[in-house]
Chain A
Amino acid sequence: MIKEHLPVLQVIIPLIAAPVCMLAYRPKLAWLIATAVSWTAFIIASILLITVRETGTLSYALGGWAAPWGIEYRVDTISAFVLLIVAGISAVTILFARKSVEREIEPDRIYLFYTAWVLCLTGLLGIAITGDVFNLFVFLEISSLSTYALIAFGSDRRALIAAYRYLVMGTIGATFIVIGIGFLYAMTGTLNMLDLAERLPSVSNTRTIAVAFAFMTVGISLKVALFPLHAWLPNAYTYAPSAVSALLAGTASKVGVYILLRFLFTVFGGGFAFDTMVLNGILLVLALLAILSGPLIAVFQTNLKRMLAYSSVAQIGYTVLGVSLASITGLTASIVHLFNHALIKTVLFMALGAVFYRIGSVSITEINGLGRRMPWTMAAFVAGGLSLIGVPMTAGFISKWYLISASLEKGLWPVVVVIIIASLLAVVYVWRVVEAAYFQPAAEKSSTGVTDTVIKGREEAPLGMLIPIWALVAANIYFGLDASLTTGVARQAAETLLGGLSLTVWGG
């Protein structure tokens, strides 16, 4: 009985919980509600993924209005997988957030922080589940607005500027998407994704559709932070509270790529996007530029969060690279990388959050000798770093393996060279942290004024932070050793995206 309503519960529960969180007022209570909601969402997403894999696509008519007229919630393999990523990352980071937020945000604003968190979760889950393009825009704005607020919670005043810039860029991106949707609606008279997919081919040679496609691609790329539209991302990730950086790195950019996949393959159809509009060439070049420029800038950063943010720009490049190849293996690589990169970046940002919790800084000059002071935290950072580089037996290796084989399938060996060069650059910036943390003597006196005796002893982050960090480290290693689950789901998702449209693969 309740099972058939799971698609709507996935979104409704966090949506209703957000005002409850605000009324709760007390920080602990608000956190408890947010945690309960995140875990409920995680459980629902898991059940949905299992159901979809067993019985195929689920369709839920909101309010009982049948599909092309009413809003449809549609769960296929890729939606379910993205739902699982978003809910899972939120469930883990919210555990980490309790201590981290206590340190970084004033007590009387903590309940607002969790309200925004739950709203952000609502928006991200809604984007992944909806089958209606305008509904997608509304959820996109729910998640974006709450994200701007979450970033502005950062303790540095530059967080405000970062949030403001992101607000301006994000709104332009979202408005571009609305313009695109408007053109689509003008030509087809429908907003349902499947209905659009059916009606678009008959009008796809008009200029209106071409313009719609251009507006949407640019708008989504702004949201995804695809090179060269990534300018908002580094500051936003750097100055946001630690828990927010971890959440956003693991979820927001993933959902952005999901929107790209949805529109390119489900709505417009791969044949139109890649054969008529030749988007794959543009995406390929931009992805490669992102892959190279990200680590090149990251290597020179002293603020470690900013370093990770530039690395994220590169990782978005890897994901888009897989999309641009427009093959089953390429899409599988992209979708697997969505999952794996969520695991990797969340670990790294949470480890830095733990460092910030103890020493009040994430500058490379402040972490000297930290390998002895915070052995577990730094070990987790190194494990995450290895996965980021793509060392075998970590999740990151699986992504790179699939990306390289997808490139070779298309005979694009220069792309393979770029991937390897970028991975070597990743070695460089991860190694800078390892060297500072393990091979430099500890500073005489840290910036927070902790005395010498304390520094020599261990000063590990609290267990409430270490457990979620290490849970994700374990996941990184587990999904590196046994990738059958992730690649299986990703391949199935790639096949639905490409296979549903008969004109797709052969043309490319």
Chain B
Amino acid sequence: MLTTTLGLFNYWIVIVLMMLGLYAVIASRNLIKKIIGLNIFQTSVFIFYISMAKLEGGTAPILAEGIPHYANPLPHVLILTAIVVSVATTALGLALILRIREAYDSVEEDEIQRLDE
């Protein structure tokens, strides 16, 4: 029990972050807070991939004498791409929020909804 809890602690962090992020996206009514939630949600997935690549006792993936075990480099590369995507999404989301603020003079979802009725 203790080993599963402690030994897999990074996966527990992934789960906690994922739920926190999703909750923030769903529950907050402020558009910027939603984007922050989305970011936390995506970050949990990055940690998930990186944890997956880690090998106990393994080193950095450099081919050299005397290094029999090393971490899998592929998930790192995949996550580099995913981080770029995430940054682009955040940038686009924030740009949209800027224009929403120009158009509505508010970034609160309730107020925007009221203004459109």
Q: Which segment, of B2-10, B44-52, B57-65, faces chain A?
A: B44-52
Query: Are A149 and B78 within 8 A (Cβ)?
Result: no
Query: Are B92 and A141 within 8 A (Cβ)?
Result: no
Chain A residues with CB below 8 A from B31, complex form? 164
Q: Among residues 350 to 397 in chain A, which have CB atoms less than 8 Å away from a CB atom of chain B?
A: none
Q: Given A157-B104, A178-B82, A179-B45, does the pair A164, B52 have CB atoms closer than 8 Å? A: no
Interface size on A, residues (CB 8 A): 25
How far is it, in angstroms, between the C-alpha of A46 and the C-alpha of B99 when the chains are bound? 40
Q: What string of 1s and 0s marks CB contacts (under 8 Å) between B90-116 and chain A?
A: 001100110110011000000010001
How far is it, in angstroms, between the C-alpha of A157 and the C-alpha of B96 when the chains are bound? 11
Query: Are A172 and B104 within 8 A (Cβ)?
Result: no
Query: Are A158 and B116 within 8 A (Cβ)?
Result: yes
Query: Are B96 and A152 within 8 A (Cβ)?
Result: yes
Taking the closest CB of chain B, its distance from the CB of A400, in whole angstroms, is 37
A134 at interface, CB cutoff 8 A: yes
In the complex, what residue of chain B is closest to A174 when comparing beta carbons?
B85
How far is it, in angstroms, between the C-alpha of A152 and the C-alpha of B95 when the chains are bound? 10
Query: Are B81 and A167 within 8 A (Cβ)?
Result: no
Chain B residues with CB below 8 A from A145, complex form? 85, 88-89, 92
Chain B residues with CB below 8 A from A138, complex form? 81, 85
Q: What string of 1s and 0s marks CB contacts (under 8 Å) between A128-140 and chain B?
A: 0000001001100
Chain A residues with CB below 8 A from B41, complex form? 172, 175
Query: Are A134 and B78 within 8 A (Cβ)?
Result: yes
Q: What string of 1s and 0s marks CB contacts (under 8 Å) between A174-195 and chain B?
A: 1100110010011000000000
With contacts defined as CB atoms under 8 Å apart, how many contacts are there between chain A and chain B in the complex? 66
Taking the closest CB of chain B, its distance from the CB of A431, in whole angstroms, is 30
How far is it, in angstroms, between the C-alpha of A185 and the C-alpha of B79 when the chains are bound? 13
In the complex, what residue of chain B is closest to A149 when comparing beta carbons?
B92
Interface of chain B, main secondary structure = helix
How far is it, in angstroms, between the C-alpha of A175 and the C-alpha of B99 when the chains are bound? 25
Q: Given A168-B38, A179-B48, does the pair A185, B92 have CB atoms closer than 8 Å? A: no
Q: Among residues 430 to 470 in chain A, which have CB atoms less than 8 Å away from a CB atom of chain B?
A: none
In the complex, what residue of chain B is closest to A163 when comparing beta carbons?
B96
Q: Among residues 68 to 92 in chain B, which have CB atoms less than 8 Å away from a CB atom of chain A?
A: 75, 78, 81-82, 85, 88-89, 92
Query: Are A182 and B45 within 8 A (Cβ)?
Result: yes
Query: Are B85 and A141 within 8 A (Cβ)?
Result: yes
Query: Are A167 and B100 within 8 A (Cβ)?
Result: no
In the complex, what residue of chain B is closest to A166 when comparing beta carbons?
B96
Contact among B78, B85, B88, B96 for A164, CB-based, below 8 A: B96
B42 at interface, CB cutoff 8 A: yes
Chain B residues with CB below 8 A from A51, complex form? none
A496 at interface, CB cutoff 8 A: no
B17 at interface, CB cutoff 8 A: no
Q: What string of 1s and 0s marks CB contacts (under 8 Å) between B25-40 and chain A?
A: 1000001001100100
Interface size for chain B: under 10, 10 to 19, 20 to 34, or 35 or more residues? 20 to 34
Chain B residues with CB below 8 A from A182, complex form? 45, 48-49, 52, 75
Q: Given A164-B93, A179-B45, A185-B75, does the pair A152, B99 have CB atoms closer than 8 Å? A: yes
Chain B residues with CB below 8 A from A149, complex form? 92
Q: Given A160-B96, A160-B99, does the pair A175, B52 have CB atoms closer than 8 Å? A: no
Query: Are A167 and B85 within 8 A (Cβ)?
Result: no
Taking the closest CB of chain B, its distance from the CB of A18, in whole angstroms, is 14
A232 at interface, CB cutoff 8 A: no
How far is it, in angstroms, between the C-alpha of A137 and the C-alpha of B84 when the chains are bound? 13
Chain B residues with CB below 8 A from A186, complex form? 52
Query: Are B96 and A148 within 8 A (Cβ)?
Result: yes
Taking the closest CB of chain B, its distance from the CB of A138, in whole angstroms, is 6
Query: Which has the most chain A C-beta neighbours within 10 Å: B92, B100, B112?
Result: B92
Chain B residues with CB below 8 A from A161, complex form? 100, 112, 116
How far is it, in angstroms, between the C-alpha of A98 and the C-alpha of B55 when the chains are bound? 55
Chain A residues with CB below 8 A from B112, complex form? 161
A293 at interface, CB cutoff 8 A: no
Chain B residues with CB below 8 A from A141, complex form? 85, 88-89
Taking the closest CB of chain A, its distance from the CB of B108, in whole angstroms, is 12
Query: Are B45 and A175 within 8 A (Cβ)?
Result: yes
Query: Are A164 and B100 within 8 A (Cβ)?
Result: yes
In the complex, what residue of chain A is closest to B14 when comparing beta carbons?
A179
Taking the closest CB of chain A, its distance from the CB of B49, in whole angstroms, is 5
How far is it, in angstroms, between the C-alpha of A157 and the C-alpha of B104 when the chains are bound? 8
How far is it, in angstroms, between the C-alpha of A163 and the C-alpha of B89 when the chains are bound? 12
Query: Are B34 and A168 within 8 A (Cβ)?
Result: yes
A171 at interface, CB cutoff 8 A: yes
How far is it, in angstroms, between the C-alpha of A236 and the C-alpha of B8 when the chains are bound? 41
In the complex, what residue of chain B is closest to A167 when comparing beta carbons?
B93
Chain A residues with CB below 8 A from B25, complex form? 168, 172
Query: Are A171 and B100 within 8 A (Cβ)?
Result: no
Taking the closest CB of chain B, its distance from the CB of A166, in whole angstroms, is 10
27 A-B contact pairs sorted by A residue (CB < 8 Å): A134-B81, A137-B82, A145-B88, A145-B92, A148-B92, A152-B96, A157-B100, A157-B104, A158-B116, A161-B100, A163-B96, A164-B31, A164-B96, A167-B89, A167-B92, A168-B25, A168-B35, A168-B38, A168-B93, A171-B42, A172-B22, A172-B25, A174-B85, A175-B42, A175-B45, A182-B75, A185-B75
A residues contacting B by CB (< 8 A) are 134, 137-138, 141, 145, 148-149, 152, 157-158, 160-161, 163-164, 167-168, 171-172, 174-175, 178-179, 182, 185-186
A160-B103, A161-B100 given. 5 additional CB < 8 A pairs? A145-B89, A161-B112, A167-B92, A179-B45, A182-B48
